[in-house]
């Protein structure tokens, strides 16, 4: 028997108190889950934003290398016409290359030349051409021309490929060259290279450890095969499994032997070690010339001349230096020779970094250092213009009809369900609709802002209709009654009285819809706005791309410099979205009335 | 004399379930209750009457600290239950509300079965340890709330399927099942028809045998019918607090007189 | 061209508007009160009927002309090349049009030149015919409106009727869009099914997806159009996304609606809104640049082999994208649970946690379920994240560390790939149709549940 009155005594009991503590703990737990959830969402947002902004910083500056360009009128304008068109016909690519060869005369051989040409952008010649065409009086002078550096040079100077670390040294250096002047033998009077040698030996140890690990895996494989073989009845299969097992055991032994040999080398105090492709780069600088070491011992080694005339006899410590680049040459885009040349140019003050205005004014390009977002921004503008001029009037009129005129019947219900469903249809399906109907059937030009704008308008329409209906519904009926009571028709009431009052809400919804459309990518890819378009679109029927699609395209390119540009394009996109949403919030705060 | 007064005070303490001393309630800067002193007797029905917005519901919600759930609500003064300050730091409102049950203006059964509605309190407070005891508590509570006959065949149906009056009695059963000592009722009949109201009123009278009941009501007739003590609230103050018959027949305060004679409401 | 013609017709309509207004003033003869409708309405009426009739004629002639020209040119080509396939004839036609418009064509021969000349003629006829007919019809209707200007003419009622029709037409555009989607998808889907010999079962249950590798003579190999790996990939990524989004979104909503102080809410809500406003392409970039390498490194450090385009990376980022969606919808439904239920529970001495778990959540459950369903529908249809961060090979696996592909990725690959559009469109539109059907079913069910739920507590 339980008496209710007895139960009430249990409220203050010790059991109830301990139970209460447990209940309170459960509450704290639930609260903690909530805080954790919010924090995770915040963490995601912060990581996302910091990734994007952190990456985008690199795109804010670009690098110029100033080189003296002799503009020979005999070559460029042999007839002496002074006509820009004539001047423009000259081979400026060759001129840029000649200037580079002049700057680094000792660089010879095809591949070395290619590396040399690679430090400036392929676009430098066009800028030079334009400069000369714009001012033919430059002909006959030697002009210091800032040339756009290539993306690789630019990223190196921004430290994206790791940095050169100068090493301590105290000895006098002697360098002797072989007959071709390409291989140098290096000898220092002090054990200056001990550090570098230690690094190389560490690497050997690492390699040995890796091989041991491989050997262990092989060994395990051998055991598995042997066990399988033991369980086999068929002698044929058994033999083949045993053979497998033995092969693996042998491989394991070979790897172990190799590892042992490496360890011996790693642990030996002295000796001369080769710098393999996976080793750090060791660059030696003497007499303004650069050597890449290929073998190193504690006090010297052998090197390959990258640039210049490095032979030296007892050069004092102040006359030479050497640096170490941790990333092996094969693991970065910039070669050791290019590093040497860029460092020389930098030392001579010919390198400068300036704010990247090009990024905000140029169209797309295959070369990251030449690529800009202006084309995509203009494309976005035209597309949004089309979207707005279709979606806004249609959306508002549809909302007015549904709220003020539509009879409450099954068809209206159907329209309403339809609108709600359209709001949740995947955007890519709208792209397919655009592809089949507007491109295929109505013949709207492919890749054009017109096509994109129509598709986005259809996508945005439900958002605008839903927001507009809510805004219209919020206008109190008393206002309608007042207008109708004065003899206004229902249409006049709607347009003269209800619509102006609902406008802030409608505009807010429209801006939010437009912001969605501005960030939309998939449907535009479907209708071909993903094409490579260099020109800035001048109208709604030109081929164009838009900001988010530009982001998508760039993110697909392998060049590392595009990563920064992708991130910068995202920043621009986000900036536009923030501005639009800020306007929406402002409208809502400033004008929205509550009845 | 002194002895007598002390004895009298002790006796009063025994009879007084709840004592409110100089209670003020603020919503932000707005003072909703302006210094209320009321003693609530055990095993008695006390009615709070007064015009709308006079603070009677607010004061009622102070008695089980329901105002704690409202942002920006601040309370000063003292409310003692069995001599202990219910606003003391050591008091957990959750525990307090188990002892001071509440029934609301609009019936608010949970969207669960009738059984689960009633079993909710005993379950969360761990009042019973096995299913059989729980069944018994549910049945007793439903019986006390005079709804057993209507509900016994549909215990597993949702409580929201009952009629308004039944729902309110279910809510009373739900409150009883938690085994409270005080039952607060915030205009429990205002959403009900006259027949349901009569049933609830009968129930309230019946409940007096085990609980101290505090009822906020709009209807003076109701207060007269069910209560033994009545407090008249006006603009956040208690104008008059006395035995119900006295308030209705011979009020001391002219404002009370005006209210019960219908000068304003 | 057509745009200019349209502007000319509208200009004509404006002229009729001015004329009708003047005439109305004339008829009223200084006493405007005699007129049933104010002169402005007579003008409006004239404008509306002239513009509507004129531009409708323009449109019909333009589109009809387009179809007629195509048919005429195709029959000309068919006469010249009786043995050629339809696709080859179409190529000739598009070359000829390119020639006529002065663009580069793939080939240039006598037939193409002849067709180009014919195209130029017909195109000229079409444009001038459209403009001429449009102007004639606009003048006739405008003239009619001018003649009908009189004291008793109910120009206001008439023009309002027309405007109302226009409003209704705008509302119907949503329906037309749906119809357009269904028709365009169904058309290609049926032709695709025809190409695989109506082996729909092979499409729905086959496990090998490589539709473009088995194309021969317009037919496709039914054994290579099995979409199960795509469905499985979509399913896998969706599951991962929901595993991330549902708990985080739901707990966030619970915290924000019942625990958070005003200040926390003022910070957290806009934060979630920002998360919701980030374009999906940005999430895709985030997934590809940050999350996928991170998961790969983490996996490697504990000895797991993780694909660089793992389903996990795409799924997690998609989950982050859906968090605000789930949390705001859940927040709505949790807030819609009446305070009286909460009060009832608190009044019985329940803690907040108990109230939420045992009263609020069960009451809000239908709404939360539909929020989750809508979230699933978004995840299934999401494109950019998976295009940028998920794999492209049809790989049938449920291992989240491997690369899988999804329906949307395949649509994008097919449409943007190098294969000829008419071949790739079949499987792409069929996948699109499948996607549309799945999301439509989810949406309808979820929206209906939400609606019922709203009505319950309204």
Shared-domain flag, residues C426 and C281: yes
Comparing C161 with A328, which gets the higher pLDDT?
C161
Cα A380 to the center of its chain, rounded Å: 20
- Please answer yes or no on whether C346 and B111 come within 8 Å at the CB atom: no
**C-alpha dihedral over C333, C335, C339, C341, to 10 degrees?**
30
Same domain for C25 and C115?
yes
- The verdict on a CB contact (< 8 Å) between C343 and B98 is no
Alpha carbon dihedral C81, C86, C89, C95, in 10-degree steps, equals: -170
pLDDT of residue A347: 87
State percent of chain A over pLDDT 90. Answer: 35
Q: What angle do CA C112, C113, C118 make, to 5 degrees?
A: 95
pLDDT at residue B1 in the model: 44
Examine residue C222 and state whether it is found in any structural domain, yes or no: no
Among B67, B102, B105, most C C-beta atoms within 10 A, so best to mutate, is B102
Using CA atoms, how far apart are residues C396 and C236, in angstroms rounded to an integer?
10
Chain A residues whose beta carbon lies within 8 Å of the beta carbon of residue C438: none
A398 Cβ under 8 Å from any chain C Cβ: yes
Q: List residues of chain C with CB under 8 Å from any CB of chain B.
A: 262, 338, 340-351, 354, 358-359, 362-363
Neighbours of chain A (3+ CB pairs under 8 A): B, C
Name the 3-class secondary structure at A362. Answer: coil
Q: Average pLDDT over chain A, rounded to whole?
A: 88
**Cβ contacts of C333 on chain B, cutoff 8 Å:** none
Instruction: Calculate the average pLDDT of chain C.
Output: 89
Please state, as a whole number, how many other Cβ atoms lie within 10 Å of the Cβ of residue C136: 12
Q: How far does CA C96 lie from the centroid of its chain? A: 32
Given a cut of 50, whether residue B11 has pLDDT beyond it is no
Per-residue confidence band for B213, with pLDDT thresholds at 50, 70 and 90: very high
Tell me, yes or no, whether C106 and C18 share the same domain. Answer: yes
If asked whether residues C310 and C380 sit together in one domain, one would say yes
Is the domain of C328 the same as that of C250? yes
Q: Which of A80-89, A424-433, B98-107, C44-53 has the lowest mean pLDDT?
A: A80-89
H helix or E strand, kind and range, residue A458: helix A449-474
Domain boundary pick from C140, C173, C206 = C173
Residues C131 and C258 in one domain: no
Query: Smallest Cβ distance to C348: which of B69, B111, B175?
Result: B175
ipTM: 0.90
Q: In 3D, which of A561, A521, A514 has the Cα closest to residue A545? A: A521
A-chain residues near C170 (CB < 8 A): 393-395, 397-398, 401
Domain-located, residue C335: yes
Q: Spelled out in words, what is the top-level CATH class assigned to the domain A368-590?
A: mainly alpha
Give C229's pLDDT tier (boundaries 50, 70, 90): very high
Say if the Cβ atoms of B144 and A2 lie within 8 Å: no
Give chain C positions within 8 Å (CB) of B112.
362
Suggest the residue from C344, C345, C356, C360 to mutate for an interface test with chain B (most B CBs closer than 10 A): C344
Convert the pLDDT of each residue in B113-149 to its tens digit.
999 999 999 999 888 888 999 999 999 999 888 899 9
What stretch of H or E contains A518?
helix A499-518
Q: Does residue C217 sit within a domain? A: no
Q: Cα–Cα distance between C341 and A176 in angstroms, integer?
A: 92
Q: C429: domain range? A: 227-457
**Closest by Cα among C339, C377, C378 to C360:** C339
The alpha-carbon radius of gyration of chain A (Å, integer) is: 36
Of A273-287, A569-583, C234-248, which range is least confident? A273-287
How many residues are listed for chain A in this entry? 595
Question: Confidence band (pLDDT; 50, 70, 90) for B60?
Answer: very high
In tens, the pLDDT along C99-120 reads 887 777 777 788 888 888 888 8
Query: How close is the nearest chain A Cα to the Cα of C423, in Å?
Result: 14
Cβ contact, residue pair C340, B120, below 8 Å: no
Chain B residues 90-119 with a CB less than 8 Å from chain A: 92, 94-95, 98-99
| Mean pLDDT, residues A62-79 | 88
In this predicted structure, what is the pLDDT of residue C14?
Answer: 93
Q: In this structure, is residue C91 part of a structural domain?
A: yes
Within chain A, what is the greatest distance between any pair of CA atoms? Answer: 121
- Which of C83-97, C262-276, C322-336 shows the lowest mean pLDDT across its residues? C83-97
Give chain B's radius of gyration (CA, Å): 19
Among residues C235, C240, C232, C242, the alpha carbon closest in space to that of C372 is found at: C242
Q: What percent of chain C stands above pLDDT 90?
A: 50
Q: Do A1 and B136 touch (CB under 8 A)?
A: yes
Task: Work out the average pLDDT over A12-34.
Answer: 90
Assess whether C138 and C259 both reside in one domain: no
Nearest CA in chain A to C373: A424
Question: For chain C, how many structural domains are there in total?
Answer: 2
The better pLDDT of the pair C218, C361 is held by: C361
pLDDT band at B3 (very low <50, low <70, confident <90, very high): low
Q: Is C125 in the same domain as C231?
A: no
Q: SS3 for chain C, per residue?
A: CHHHHHHHHHHHHHHHHHHHHHHHHHHHCCCHHHCCCCHHHHHHHHHHHHHHHHHHHHHHHHHHHHHHHHHHHHHHHHHHCCCCCHHHHHHHHHHHHHHHCCCCCCCCCHHHHHHHHHHHHHHHHHHHHHHHHHHHHHHHHHHHHHHHCCCCCCHHHHHHHHHHHHHHHHHHHHHHHHHHHHHHHHHHHHHHHHHCCCCHHHHHHCCCECHHHHCECCECCHHHECCHHHHHHHHHHHHHHHHHHHHHHHHHHHHHHHHCCHHHHHHHHHHHHHHHHCCHHHHHHHHHHHHHHHHHHHHHHCCCCCCCCEHHHHHHHHHHHHHHHHHHHHHHHHHHCCHHHHHHHHHCCCCHHHHHHHHHHHHHHHHHHHHHHHHHHHHHHCCHHHHHHCCCCCCCCCCCCCECCCHHHHHHHHHHCCCCHHHHHHHHHHHHHHHHHHHHHHHHHHHHHHHHHHHHHC
Q: Which pLDDT band, with edges at 50, 70 and 90, does C330 fall under? A: very high
DSSP lists the bridge partners of residue A142 as: A70
pLDDT at B13 over 80: no
In the listed set C145, C173, C201, which residue is the last one of a domain according to the structure?
C173
Does one domain contain both C157 and C296? Answer: no
Q: Which residues pair with A65 in a beta bridge?
A: A147, A351
Q: Give contacts of A 365-394 with C, CB under 8 A.
A: 393-394
Q: Indicate whether C213 belongs to any domain.
A: no
User: What are the structural domain ranges in chain A?
Assistant: 69-145, 164-331, 368-590
Compute the distance between CA of residue A148 and CA of residue A154 in angstroms, rounded to an integer.
Answer: 9
Residue A457, min C-alpha distance to chain C (Å): 11
Residues of C in contact with B64 (CB under 8 A): 347
Residues within 8 A of C (CB atoms), A 3-42 only: 23-24, 26-27, 29-31, 33-38, 40-42
| Chain C contact probe: residue of A23, A49, A424 with most C CBs at under 10 A | A424
With pLDDT > 70 as the criterion, what percentage of chain A qualifies?
A: 98
Which stretch, A41-45, A445-449, B25-29, has highest mean pLDDT?
A41-45
Q: Please indicate whether, in this complex, the C-beta atoms of B140 and A2 are within 8 angstroms of each other.
A: yes
Band (A336; pLDDT cuts 50, 70, 90): confident
Q: State how far Cα C40 lies from the chain centre.
A: 40
């Amino acid at each position: 028997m339980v008496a209710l009155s007895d139960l009430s005594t249990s409220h203050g009991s010790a059991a109830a108190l301990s139970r209460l503590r447990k209940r309170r703990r459960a509450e704290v737990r639930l609260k903690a889950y909530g805080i954790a959830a919010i924090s995770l969402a915040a963490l995601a947002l912060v990581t996302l934003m910091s990734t994007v902004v952190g990456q985008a910083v690199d795109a804010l500056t670009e690098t110029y290398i100033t080189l003296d360009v002799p503009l020979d009128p005999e070559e460029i304008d042999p007839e002496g016409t002074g006509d820009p068109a004539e001047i423009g016909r000259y081979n400026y690519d060759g001129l840029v290359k000649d200037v580079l060869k002049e700057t680094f005369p000792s660089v010879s051989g095809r591949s070395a030349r290619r590396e040399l040409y690679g430090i400036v952008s392929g676009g430098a010649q066009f800028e030079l051409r334009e400069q000369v065409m714009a001012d033919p009086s430059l002909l006959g002078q030697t002009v210091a021309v800032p040339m756009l550096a290539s993306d690789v040079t630019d990223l190196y100077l921004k430290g994206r490929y790791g940095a050169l670390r100068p090493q301590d040294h105290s000895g006098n250096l002697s360098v002797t060259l072989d007959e071709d002047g390409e291989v140098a033998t290096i000898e220092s009077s002090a054990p200056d290279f001990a550090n570098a040698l230690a690094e190389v030996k560490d690497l050997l140890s690492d390699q040995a450890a890796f091989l041991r690990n491989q050997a262990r895996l092989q060994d395990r494989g051998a055991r598995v095969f042997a066990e399988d073989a033991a369980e086999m009845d068929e002698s044929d299969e058994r033999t083949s499994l045993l053979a497998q097992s033995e092969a693996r055991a042998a491989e394991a032994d070979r790897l172990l032997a190799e590892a042992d040999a490496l360890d011996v080398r790693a642990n030996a105090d002295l000796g001369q070690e080769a710098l393999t492709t996976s080793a750090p780069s060791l660059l030696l600088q003497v007499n303004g010339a650069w050597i890449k070491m290929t073998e190193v011992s504690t006090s010297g080694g052998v090197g390959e001349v990258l640039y210049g005339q490095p032979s030296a006899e007892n050069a004092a410590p102040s006359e030479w230096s050497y640096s170490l680049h941790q990333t092996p040459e094969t693991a970065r885009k910039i070669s050791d020779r290019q590093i040497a040349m860029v460092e020389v140019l930098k030392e001579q003050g010919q390198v400068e970094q300036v704010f990247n205005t090009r990024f905000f004014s140029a169209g797309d390009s295959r070369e990251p250092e030449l690529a800009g977002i202006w084309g995509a921004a203009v494309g976005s503008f035209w597309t949004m213009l089309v979207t707005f001029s279709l979606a806004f009037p249609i959306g508002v009129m549809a909302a007015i009809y549904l709220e003020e005129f539509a009879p409450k019947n099954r068809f209206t219900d159907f329209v309403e369900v339809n609108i709600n469903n359209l709001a949740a249809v995947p955007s890519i399906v709208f792209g397919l609709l655009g592809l089949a109907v507007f491109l295929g059937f109505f013949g709207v030009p492919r890749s054009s802002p017109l096509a994109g704008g129509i598709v986005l308008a259809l996508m945005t329409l439900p958002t605008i209709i839903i927001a507009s209906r809510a805004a219209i519904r919020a206008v109190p009926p008393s206002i309608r009654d007042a207008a109708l009571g004065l003899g206004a028709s229902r249409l006049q009431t709607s347009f003269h009285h209800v619509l102006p009052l609902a406008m802030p809400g409608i505009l807010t919804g429209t801006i939010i819809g437009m912001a969605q459309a501005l960030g939309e990518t998939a449907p535009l890819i479907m209708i071909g706005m993903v094409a490579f378009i260099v020109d800035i679109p001048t109208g709604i029927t030109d081929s164009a791309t838009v900001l988010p699609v530009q982001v998508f395209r760039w993110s697909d390119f392998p060049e590392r410099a595009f990563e920064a540009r992708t991130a910068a394009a995202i920043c621009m996109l986000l900036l536009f979205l923030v501005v639009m949403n800020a306007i929406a919030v402002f409208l809502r705060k400033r004008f929205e009335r509550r009845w | 004399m002194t002895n007598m007064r002390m004895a009298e005070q002790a006796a009063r303490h025994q009879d007084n379930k709840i004592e409110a001393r100089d209670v003020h309630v603020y919503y932000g800067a707005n003072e909703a209750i302006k210094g209320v002193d009321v003693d609530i007797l055990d095993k008695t029905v006390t009615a709070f009457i007064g015009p709308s917005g006079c603070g009677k519901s607010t004061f009622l919600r102070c008695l089980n600290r329901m105002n704690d759930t409202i942002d920006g609500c601040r309370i000063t003064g003292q409310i003692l239950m069995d001599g202990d300050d219910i606003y003391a730091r050591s008091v957990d409102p959750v525990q307090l509300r188990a002892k001071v049950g509440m029934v609301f203006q609009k019936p608010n059964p949970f969207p669960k079965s009738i059984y689960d509605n009633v079993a909710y309190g005993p379950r969360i407070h761990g009042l019973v340890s096995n299913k059989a005891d729980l069944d018994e508590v549910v049945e007793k509570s439903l019986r006390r709330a005079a709804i057993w006959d209507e509900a016994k065949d549909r215990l597993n149906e949702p409580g929201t399927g009952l009629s308004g009056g039944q729902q309110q009695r279910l809510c009373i059963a739900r409150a009883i099942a938690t085994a409270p000592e005080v039952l607060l009722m915030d205009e429990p009949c205002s959403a009900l028809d006259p027949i349901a109201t009569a049933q609830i009123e009968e129930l309230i009278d019946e409940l007096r045998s085990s609980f101290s009941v505090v009822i906020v009501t709009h209807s003076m007739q109701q207060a007269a019918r069910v209560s033994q003590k009545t407090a008249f609230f006006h603009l956040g103050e208690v104008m008059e607090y006395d035995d119900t018959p006295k308030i209705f027949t011979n009020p001391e305060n002219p404002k009370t007189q005006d209210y019960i004679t219908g000068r304003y409401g | 061209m057509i745009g200019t013609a349209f502007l000319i017709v509208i200009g004509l309509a404006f002229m009729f508007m001015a004329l009708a207004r003047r005439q109305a003033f004339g008829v009223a003869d200084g006493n405007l009160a005699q007129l049933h409708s104010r002169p402005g309405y007579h003008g409006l009426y004239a404008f509306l009927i002239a513009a509507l009739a004129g531009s409708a004629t323009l449109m019909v002639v333009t589109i009809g002309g387009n179809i007629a020209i195509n048919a005429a040119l195709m029959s000309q080509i068919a006469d010249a090349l009786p043995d050629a396939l339809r696709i080859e004839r179409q190529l000739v036609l598009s070359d000829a049009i390119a020639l006529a418009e002065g663009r580069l064509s793939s080939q240039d021969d006598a037939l193409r030149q002849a067709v180009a000349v014919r195209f130029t003629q017909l195109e000229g006829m079409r444009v001038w015919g459209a403009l001429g007919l449009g102007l004639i019809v606009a003048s006739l209707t405008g003239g009619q409106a001018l003649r009908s200007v009189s004291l008793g003419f109910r120009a206001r009622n008439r023009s309002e009727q027309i405007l109302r029709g226009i409003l209704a037409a705008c509302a119907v555009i949503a329906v037309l869009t749906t119809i357009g989607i269904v028709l365009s998808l169904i058309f290609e889907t049926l032709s695709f099914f025809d190409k695989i010999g109506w082996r729909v079962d092979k499409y729905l249950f086959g496990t090998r997806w490589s539709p473009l590798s088995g194309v021969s003579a317009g037919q496709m190999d039914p054994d290579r159009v099995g979409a199960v790996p795509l469905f499985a990939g979509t399913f896998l990524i969706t599951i991962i996304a929901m595993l991330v989004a549902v708990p985080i979104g739901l707990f966030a909503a619970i915290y924000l609606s019942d625990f958070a102080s005003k200040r926390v809410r003022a910070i957290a809500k806009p934060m979630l809104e920002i998360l919701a406003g980030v374009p999906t392409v940005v999430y895709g970039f985030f997934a590809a640049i940050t999350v996928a390498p991170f998961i790969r490194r983490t996996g490697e450090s504990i000895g797991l082999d993780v694909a660089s385009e793992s389903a996990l990376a795409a799924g997690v980022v998609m989950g982050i994208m859906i968090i605000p969606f789930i949390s705001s919808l859940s927040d709505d439904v949790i807030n819609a649970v009446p305070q009286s239920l909460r009060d009832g529970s608190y009044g019985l001495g329940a803690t907040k946690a108990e109230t939420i778990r045992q009263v609020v959540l069960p009451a809000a459950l239908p709404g939360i379920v539909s929020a989750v369903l809508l979230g699933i529908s978004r995840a299934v249809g999401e494109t950019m994240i998976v295009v940028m961060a998920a794999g492209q090979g049809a790989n049938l696996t449920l291992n989240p560390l491997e690369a899988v592909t999804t329906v949307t990725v395949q649509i994008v690959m097919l449409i943007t790939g190098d294969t000829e559009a008419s071949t790739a469109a079949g499987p792409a539109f069929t996948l699109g149709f499948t996607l549309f059907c799945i999301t439509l079913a989810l949406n309808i069910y979820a929206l209906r549940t939400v609606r019922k739920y709203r009505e319950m507590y309204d």
